[in-house]
C-alpha cells in the first residue's frame, strides 16, 4: 500500500498496518509537509491518542516499528515511483484527484490499483457492509 497525503485516512491506515500483518504501508506522499512533521502527526494523533509504536525519520523516510516507509513530497502523482516501493494499491486521500482520470495518474508511477477515499463524480463507490460484495477486481 502507498498512501498519499498526511490526513486522517493515512494516519488510520498507517497505524492499522503496524498492528496487523495483512497491510503493509511501503510509501507515503505528502507535498505539503516534511517527513519530521508527518512522523509527529502519526505519533500524536489528536483523535486516537499517542501511537504506541516507534517512529523515527531517516533522511526522507519514516521508520515505523523498524519498517521503512518511503516518504515523497511530490505534487504530481504521475511522478511518484510507486513501482520502486513495491506498492500495488494506492489510497488517494488528498481530496484533489477524485475523478478516475485524475486518480489514474498514480498508475504512471507503477501502482496497479487506486482507491479514492473521497466522494468521486465518476468512480464507482463501495461501502463496507452496504455494497462491497458488488466490487469486481477488473473495475478500472
What CATH number corresponds to the domain at position 94?
3.40.50.720
Per the structure, the complete domain to which residue 76 belongs is given by 2-134
Sign, CA torsion 116/132/22/110: negative
- Stated as kind and residue range, the H or E segment containing 127 is none
Average pLDDT, integer, range 19-23: 72
126 assigned to some structural domain: yes
The answer, yes or no, to whether residue 10 has pLDDT greater than 80, is no
- Rounded CA-CA distance 55/67 in Å is 9
Percent of the chain whose pLDDT exceeds 90: 51
Average pLDDT, integer, range 24-46: 88
30 assigned to some structural domain: yes
Of 54 and 1, the structure prediction assigns the larger pLDDT to 54
102-110 long-range contacts (CB < 8 A, ≥24 apart) are 103/77, 105/76, 105/77, 105/78, 106/4, 106/77, 106/78, 106/80, 106/82, 108/77, 108/78, 108/79, 109/77, 109/78, 109/79, 109/80, 109/81, 109/82, 109/83, 110/81, 110/82, 110/83, 110/84
pLDDT band for position 52 (50/70/90)?
confident
140 assigned to some structural domain: no
Total tally of structural domains belonging to the chain: 1
102 assigned to some structural domain: yes
11 assigned to some structural domain: yes
pTM above 0.85, yes or no: no
46 assigned to some structural domain: yes
Of 7 and 79, the structure prediction assigns the larger pLDDT to 79
Query: How many Cβ atoms are within 10 Å of 124's Cβ, its own excluded?
Result: 13
Amino acid at each position: 500500500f502507498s498512501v498519499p497525503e498526511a490526513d486522517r485516512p493515512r494516519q488510520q491506515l498507517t497505524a492499522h498496518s503496524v498492528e496487523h500483518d495483512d497491510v503493509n504501508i511501503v510509501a507515503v506522499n505528502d507535498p505539503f509537509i516534511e517527513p519530521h512533521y508527518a512522523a509527529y502527526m502519526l505519533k500524536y494523533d489528536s483523535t486516537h491518542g499517542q501511537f504506541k509504536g516507534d517512529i523515527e525519520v531517516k533522511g526522507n523516510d519514516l521508520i515505523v516499528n523498524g519498517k521503512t516507509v518511503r516518504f515523497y513530497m511530490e505534487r504530481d502523482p504521475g511522478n511518484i515511483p510507486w513501482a520502486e516501493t513495491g506498492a500495488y494499491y494506492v489510497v488517494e486521500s488528498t481530496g484533489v484527484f477524485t475523478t478516475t482520470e485524475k486518480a489514474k495518474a498514480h498508475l504512471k508511477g507503477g501502482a496497479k490499483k487506486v482507491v479514492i477515499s473521497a466522494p468521486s463524480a465518476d468512480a464507482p463507490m463501495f461501502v463496507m457492509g452496504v455494497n462491497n460484495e458488488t466490487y469486481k477486481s477488473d473495475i478500472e
